[in-house]
């Protein structure tokens, strides 16, 4: 090797990054699976540091969430709103509209459904009442999603913070109703809203409220909507590049507003399912962080509704399992959030290795040009 | 409103504004590098638990020096939150992940991290709480200017603790750094146009990393103050979900302050005032409606800023975008 070549080799950086386009879908998902595995190893190290055997803890988590009928029902009950909210977020995120206000939209839907559950239950039979609650929740959720969308479409107002602030405003309204006009007068004096009458409760199917059927129908509809309809196509074009969408003659404002109505409406229905199916009442925990965790679900699934089913189920296992290990090992329940965060970090990081490859000095192919 | 206590109201407003000020300043520094870190809430949580754990363990091993306890709190709060920001930096700067989602992930992680360790450490204690002694809490809350019992304006200054002063000094320093110093100019150019900065020989990656990690550390100090603030009644004790959305208000305040550290002082004061208003001013409306005032104000600010687009009020031009040298 001449000294000149040697000098050139030394000037070359240790690692170069090149885009890759040759990776297959299977390989990509294998990298993602490896990332989840690594995340669980990282979580296991925390468990180990706390003086527990990570294998026993993980096994206990899985056992608590899936091992018996009661646990399984609980897990499904956790997964339903998570999946529903992830479906709500999907079209907005596909449009690169960062709707982190699912939490507030869920509450808005819950509030609207609760109104009919409290004041119309004695006037209507069960089926029309439930339908009315469903519709009211969808409309309220859509309205709560519409507000930031209009401002975004008209003035480009930052939607991330706007939707977020609307969460707290919805929560304040809920708290006001719970402490004031809707407070249970027959109760113990605690500021809570009364349990719904029988007619306002969503019936159970196979031991879990019928919300799981609604949400699975939504999965199919959302999959078809995003993949095969003109509106779904418009959403992805706006998401990729707004100028392109404009140039193609699309009405971007209209698409933003319409999509956020759909997004909010689905979140609103999640609120309906929670108050009418799971809790039989409305409280500050009706949304309970689901709107945020659902962002994780939607993103991990690459906004694919079918994949979301599995991710939501997986996170539901983590959540339910964390409750179990709190009881059995005294590990705080927040372990679920820690694990979710770690998994998300690894999944976000692994996308780099799917989209790019590293070329080390001296190896790999010759330079171009 | 006859017995309205102006000095008391202002004092409470300033103290409630301190965590917001630190969060806002940290995020301003971060955003000036072009990184939109939505993980402020998570980093404040991490700073809160780290800043409490430092003095807590120091006291557990029998330490009694308040100065060391305070320093441990400050250093660990800063380091813990900076660690969160470092994770964010690796993912968004080196691995080019989406900044929005990474920030949200950091919030989920930081919230979980803090509640997890806050409770795990607490459960090893006989009282079942992670809690520091009164002298340490006092060190964070006692005024540093004397003047106790002076009445009126004197009372106001008497209540100003060292964290208030630290926040104000930091705001002043950042204003000078970003507006007047060479390195600050470099940082701003990285945020405005990383490709241009790169061509001018500025190390874009280093600036982005440093601004984001240091900014995160500053946010952590806000979390520390939330934990130590005695006006909550539980100062110095870990409370589940104690940050409670203040990190998000800080993100919004960056926009309110239009990326100016000095205007961040005003913003924090206004929002601090809004958050404690119901204790001082009776408008005859339910308490729960008071609690949404800061959020409504944030929304109004967001809308106002977006409607009148002044050139100097705009975010750094590359905010939220990853920089790929290879794709110039």
Contact of A68 with chain B, judged by CB distance below 8 Å, is answered with no
Pairing of β A15-19 and β A356-360: antiparallel
Contact (CB<8Å) B105/A348: yes
Residue A158 with chain B: CB contacts under 8 Å? 255, 302, 306
Confidence bin at A358 (pLDDT 50/70/90) = confident
Give the ranges where chain B is alpha helix by DSSP (H).
6-32, 40-60, 66-89, 99-123, 134-141, 153-158, 162-180, 182-192, 194-199, 204-228, 246-256, 261-276, 287-290, 293-307
d(CA A69, CA A229): 39
Contact of A233 with chain B, judged by CB distance below 8 Å, is answered with no
Considering B185-189, B232-236, B255-259, the range whose residues carry the highest mean pLDDT is B185-189
- Condensed to tens digits (0 to 9), the pLDDT of residues A254-292 reads 999 999 999 999 999 999 999 999 899 999 888 888 998
Considering B57-66, B152-161, B216-225, B297-306, the range whose residues carry the highest mean pLDDT is B216-225
The CATH topology of domain A62-330 is: ABC transporter involved in vitamin B12 uptake, BtuC (1.10.3470)
pLDDT the model gives residue A1: 46
List B residues 122-181 in contact with A (Cβ-Cβ < 8 A).
123
Residue B1 clears pLDDT 50, i.e. is over it:
no
Contact of B112 with chain A, judged by CB distance below 8 Å, is answered with yes
Least confident of A118-127, A301-310, B194-203, B308-317: B308-317
In chain A the first and final C-alpha atoms are separated, in Å, by 21
Contact of B255 with chain A, judged by CB distance below 8 Å, is answered with yes
Region A237-256: mean pLDDT is 90
Q: What is the DSSP string of A141-169?
A: HHHHHHHHHHHHHHH---HHHHHHHHHHH
Residue of chain B whose alpha carbon sits nearest to that of A289: B108
pLDDT the model gives residue A26: 85
Region A107-122: mean pLDDT is 93
Residue of A97, A162, A338 to mutate for B, most B C-beta atoms under 10 A: A338
Q: What is the DSSP string of A188-235?
A: SSSS-BPPPPGGGSPPEETTEETHHHHHHHHHHHHHHHHHHSHHHHHH
Region B166-176: mean pLDDT is 96
The closest CB to that of A179, out of B97, B251, B288, belongs to B288
Question: For residue A52, what is the DSSP state?
Answer: S
Residue of chain B whose alpha carbon sits nearest to that of A358: B95
Residue A175 clears pLDDT 70, i.e. is over it:
yes
Considering A18-27, A112-121, A358-367, the range whose residues carry the highest mean pLDDT is A112-121
CA B308 to each of CA A157, A170, B127, B302: distance values in angstroms, whole numbers, following the listed order: 11, 27, 54, 10
d(CA A261, CA A98): 14
pLDDT the model gives residue A7: 55
d(CA A163, CA A148): 6
User: How high does pLDDT run on average in chain B?
Assistant: 88
Contact of A340 with chain B, judged by CB distance below 8 Å, is answered with yes
Contact (CB<8Å) B252/A161: yes
Domain limits, chain A? 15-52+332-369, 62-330
In chain B the first and final C-alpha atoms are separated, in Å, by 62
Helix (H, G, I), strand (E, B) or coil at A15: strand
Q: Please list, in sequence order, all residues whose beta carbon lies within 8 angstroms of the beta carbon of residue A24, skipping any fewer than 6 positions away.
A: none
User: How high does pLDDT run on average in chain A?
Assistant: 88
Q: Which domains does chain B have, with CATH numbers?
A: 13-327 (1.10.3470)
Percent of chain B with pLDDT over 70: 94
Confidence bin at B35 (pLDDT 50/70/90) = very high
Residue B109 with chain A: CB contacts under 8 Å? 337-338, 340-342, 344-345
Contact A170, A144 (CB under 8 A): yes
Residue A330 clears pLDDT 50, i.e. is over it:
yes
Contact A193, A174 (CB under 8 A): no
Based on its alpha-carbon atoms, the radius of gyration of chain A, rounded to whole angstroms, reads 24
The closest CB to that of A50, out of B90, B94, B120, belongs to B120
Question: For residue B181, what is the DSSP state?
Answer: -
Residue B57 clears pLDDT 80, i.e. is over it:
yes
- Condensed to tens digits (0 to 9), the pLDDT of residues B99-142 reads 888 998 999 899 999 999 999 898 888 888 888 888 888 888 88
Percent of chain A with pLDDT over 90: 48
Residue B296 with chain A: CB contacts under 8 Å? 165, 169
List A residues 2-61 in contact with B (Cβ-Cβ < 8 A).
17-19, 50
The closest CB to that of A151, out of B105, B111, B303, belongs to B303
CB pairs under 8 A between A and B: 143
Nearest alpha carbon to residue A326 among A46, A45, A64: A64
Residue matched to tokens 């090992």: A329
Region A162-167: mean pLDDT is 91
pLDDT the model gives residue A41: 94
What does residue A340 show for φ and ψ, rounded to 5 degrees? -60, -45
Least confident of A6-20, A222-236, A340-354, B292-306: A6-20
pLDDT the model gives residue A369: 38
- Condensed to tens digits (0 to 9), the pLDDT of residues A45-55 reads 988 988 889 99
Looking at per-residue pLDDT, the higher value among B151 and A58 belongs to A58
Residue B308 clears pLDDT 80, i.e. is over it:
no
Q: How far is A127 from chain B (nearest CA, A)?
A: 34
Residue A245 clears pLDDT 70, i.e. is over it:
yes
> Vertex B145, ends B139 and B151: CA angle to 5°?
110
Residue A335 with chain B: CB contacts under 8 Å? 112, 116
- Condensed to tens digits (0 to 9), the pLDDT of residues A88-114 reads 999 999 998 989 899 999 999 999 999
Contact (CB<8Å) B38/A176: no
Contact (CB<8Å) A299/B107: no
Q: Please list, in sequence order, all residues whose beta carbon lies within 8 angstroms of the beta carbon of residue B206, skipping any fewer than 6 positions away.
A: none
Please indicate, yes or no, whether the overall pTM of this predicted structure exceeds 0.90. no
């Amino acid at each position: 090797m001449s000294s000149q070549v040697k000098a050139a080799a030394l000037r070359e950086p240790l690692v170069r990054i090149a885009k890759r386009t040759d990776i297959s879908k299977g390989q990509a998902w294998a990298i993602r699976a490896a990332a989840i595995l690594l995340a669980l190893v990282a979580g296991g190290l925390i468990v180990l540091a706390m003086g527990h055997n990570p294998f026993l803890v993980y096994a206990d988590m899985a056992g608590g969430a899936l091992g018996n009928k009661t646990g399984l029902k609980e897990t499904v009950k956790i997964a339903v709103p998570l999946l529903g909210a992830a479906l709500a977020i999907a079209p907005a995120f596909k449009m690169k509209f960062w709707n982190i206000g699912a939490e507030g939209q869920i509450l808005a839907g819950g509030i609207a459904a609760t109104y009919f559950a409290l004041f119309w239950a004695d006037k209507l039979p069960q089926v029309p009442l439930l339908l009315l609650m469903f519709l009211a929740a969808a409309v309220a959720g859509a309205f709560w999603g519409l507000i930031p969308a209009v401002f975004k479409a008209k003035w480009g107002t930052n939607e991330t913070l706007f939707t977020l602030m609307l969460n707290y405003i919805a929560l304040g309204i809920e708290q006001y109703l719970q402490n004031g006009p809707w407070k249970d007068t027959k109760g113990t004096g605690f500021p809570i809203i009364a349990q719904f009458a029988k007619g306002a409760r969503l019936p159970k199917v196979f031991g879990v409220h019928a919300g799981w059927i609604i949400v699975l129908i939504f999965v199919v509809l959302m999959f078809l909507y995003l993949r095969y309809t003109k509106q779904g196509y418009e959403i992805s074009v706006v998401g990729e590049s707004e100028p392109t969408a404009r140039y193609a003659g699309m009405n971007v404002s209209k698409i933003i507003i319409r999509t956020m109505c759909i997004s909010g409406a689905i979140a609103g229905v999640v609120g309906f399912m929670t108050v009418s199916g799971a809790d039989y009442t409305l409280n500050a925990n009706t949304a309970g962080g689901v709107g945020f965790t659902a962002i994780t679900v939607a993103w991990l699934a690459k906004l694919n509704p079918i994949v979301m089913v599995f991710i939501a189920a997986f996170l539901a296992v983590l959540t339910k399992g964390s409750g179990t290990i709190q009881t059995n090992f005294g590990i705080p329940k927040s372990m679920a959030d820690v694990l979710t965060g770690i998994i998300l970090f690894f999944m976000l990081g692994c996308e780099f290795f799917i989209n790019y490859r590293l070329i080390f000095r001296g190896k790999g192919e010759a330079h171009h040009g | 409103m006859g017995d309205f206590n102006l000095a008391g109201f202002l004092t409470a407003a300033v103290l409630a504004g301190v965590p917001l000020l630190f969060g806002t300043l940290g995020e301003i520094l971060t955003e000036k590098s072009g990184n939109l870190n939505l993980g402020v809430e998570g980093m404040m949580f991490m700073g809160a638990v780290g800043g409490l754990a430092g003095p807590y363990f120091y006291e557990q091993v029998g330490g009694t020096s308040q100065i060391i306890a305070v320093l441990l709190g400050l250093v660990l709060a800063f380091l813990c939150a900076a660690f969160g920001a470092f994770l964010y930096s690796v993912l968004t700067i080196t691995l080019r992940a989406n900044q929005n989602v990474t920030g949200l992930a950091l919030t989920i992680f930081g919230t979980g991290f803090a509640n997890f360790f806050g409770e795990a450490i607490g459960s090893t204690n006989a009282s079942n709480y992670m809690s520091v002694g009164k002298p340490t809490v006092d060190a964070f809350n006692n005024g540093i200017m004397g003047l106790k019992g002076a009445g009126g304006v004197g009372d106001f200054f008497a209540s100003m603790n060292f964290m208030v002063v630290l926040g104000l000094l930091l705001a002043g320093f950042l204003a000078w750094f970003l507006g007047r110093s060479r390195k600050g100019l470099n940082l701003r150019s990285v945020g405005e146009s990383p490709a241009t900065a790169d061509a001018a020989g500025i190390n874009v990656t280093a600036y982005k990393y440093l601004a984001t990690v240091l900014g995160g550390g500053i946010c952590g100090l806000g979390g520390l103050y939330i934990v130590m603030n005695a006006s909550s009644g539980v100062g110095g004790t870990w409370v589940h979900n104690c940050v409670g959305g203040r990190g998000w208000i800080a993100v919004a305040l960056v926009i309110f302050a239009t990326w100016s550290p000095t205007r961040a002082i005003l913003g924090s004061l206004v929002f601090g005032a809004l958050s404690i208003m119901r204790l001082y001013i009776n408008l005859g409306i339910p308490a729960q409606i008071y609690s949404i005032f800061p959020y409504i104000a944030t929304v109004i600010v967001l809308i106002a800023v977006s409607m009148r687009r002044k050139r100097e009020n705009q975010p750094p031009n590359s905010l939220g975008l990853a920089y790929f040298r290879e794709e110039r």
